[in-house]
């Protein structure tokens, strides 16, 4: 799994307990927390995120990745999926970036088709 520099910075800023080396430590000396559910309930309450599940955070992460042009194989690697089929459920997220890229390429080709070189007329199918 990978962590971004921003995520690493957040983890580094977490308060540390002198008797516990874990970032997310329990009240027991030298032990990590056993379940994140109680912490997640507090976070949801403070952030007014009723009904938001931890898995929703993964989905949002995948959505941001897709919106920024990441491919399904890249998204799958970032999420730690072992097979492309697992990542396939996020396919709907990459449709808008694919559509946007398709429109950009089409517009660029359209502009090239409309350009005249050496005084020749534009291509007949040009919509300039």
Q: What is the pLDDT along the chain (128 residues), one digit of tens a residue?
A: 678 899 999 889 988 888 888 888 888 888 888 888 888 999 999 999 999 999 899 888 888 888 788 888 998 999 999 998 888 887 777 667 677 778 888 888 888 888 755 555 555 555 55
- In the prediction, which pLDDT does 127 show? 56
**pLDDT value for 95:** 67
> What is the model's pLDDT at position 124?
54
Cα distance between residue 55 and residue 38, in whole Å: 15
Alpha-carbon distances, residue 69 vs 48, 80, 100, 102 (angstroms): 30, 18, 10, 12
Q: Model pTM greater than 0.75?
A: no
């Amino acid at each position: 799994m990978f962590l971004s520099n921003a995520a690493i910075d957040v983890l580094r800023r977490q308060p540390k307990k002198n008797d516990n080396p874990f970032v997310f430590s329990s009240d027991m000396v030298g032990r990590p927390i056993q379940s994140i559910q109680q912490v997640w309930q507090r976070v949801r309450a403070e952030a007014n995120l009723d009904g938001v599940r931890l898995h929703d955070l993964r989905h949002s992460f995948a959505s941001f990745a897709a919106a920024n042009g990441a491919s399904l194989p890249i998204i799958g690697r970032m999420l730690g999926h072992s097979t492309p089929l697992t990542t396939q459920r996020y396919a709907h997220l990459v449709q808008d970036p694919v559509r946007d890229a398709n429109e950009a390429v089409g517009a660029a080709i359209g502009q090239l088709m409309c350009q005249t070189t050496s005084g020749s007329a534009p291509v007949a199918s040009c919509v300039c």
